[in-house]
Amino acid sequence: MAVMTSNYTARFLTLALAALAALLLAPAAAPAKIIELGKTAQEPEPSCPAKPCLAVSRTTGYQVKIGTERDLFVVPRAGRIVAWTIHLGSPTKKQISFFNQTLGGAPSAGISVLKPGERLYGRVLSQSPVETLTPYLGDTVQFPLERSLSVKKGNLIGLTVPTWAPALAVGFGNDTSWRASRREKKCSDTAMQTALTSVRALGRFQCLYRTARLTYSVTMITSPKPARKKKRS
């Protein structure tokens, strides 16, 4: 059996402690995180099939506030959008027929990455494919993206609805509100086509709707941050 001398033991312990200290002090890279934008503890129920059955129609919108929570769809860090989820109401056949006939066809929706600007302008940077929602009415469905969408801090993720979608919950207080890409004097004209359906499209989100909430959320993965290297003295 090998026997360590006291000097060898002290030197060995010194080296071991130095190695451990270096490991503990070494900068670690910030890992990527999965974030659900727009997700809250209590998920709202869409209004349909209640009477009136209220739906999002022919616009691009985003949630401004939910109670005391703000900026729920503002990207906090650079990363990529990998999926989006929508909670759909269950309209009756009569309600579906009415919406299909008056709002351009079957229910459909997608998401848009927006660059917000001054005076409530927003420009589309990228978009997901528009999904047909008829098979999923009454359910909560998540759509994974074949091609994830790159996002930067401060981008805004909106819901784009070219036709209609029963994805609107109502009955909240005035501290809950969402905006639509409609002009200020056209807020009540919900049949006019104002959806931003192409990249680089520019919209103005002047219409604020209180006491209501859009029932969608977005899954993103943040980009990992490299470790900071300590400057040598």
Give residue-wise pLDDT tens across range 178-201.
999 999 999 999 999 999 999 999
What are the residues facing 210 on neighbouring strands? 177
To which H or E segment does residue 98 belong? helix 93-102
Query: Cβ neighbours of residue 146 under 8 Å, at least 6 residues apart?
Result: none
10 Å Cβ neighbour count for 185? 9
**Burial class (CB within 10 angstroms; exposed 0-12, middle 13-18, buried 19+) of 110:** buried
Tokens of 179: 């905006």
List, for the chain, all residue ranges whose pLDDT scores fall below the cut of 50: 1-10, 12-13, 15-17, 19-24, 26
For 138-174, write each residue's pLDDT tens digit.
999 999 999 999 999 999 999 999 999 999 999 999 9
pTM: 0.84
10 Å Cβ neighbour count for 222? 19
Distance CA(87)–CA(119), nearest Å, equals 30
Beta strand 56-66 with 156-165 is antiparallel
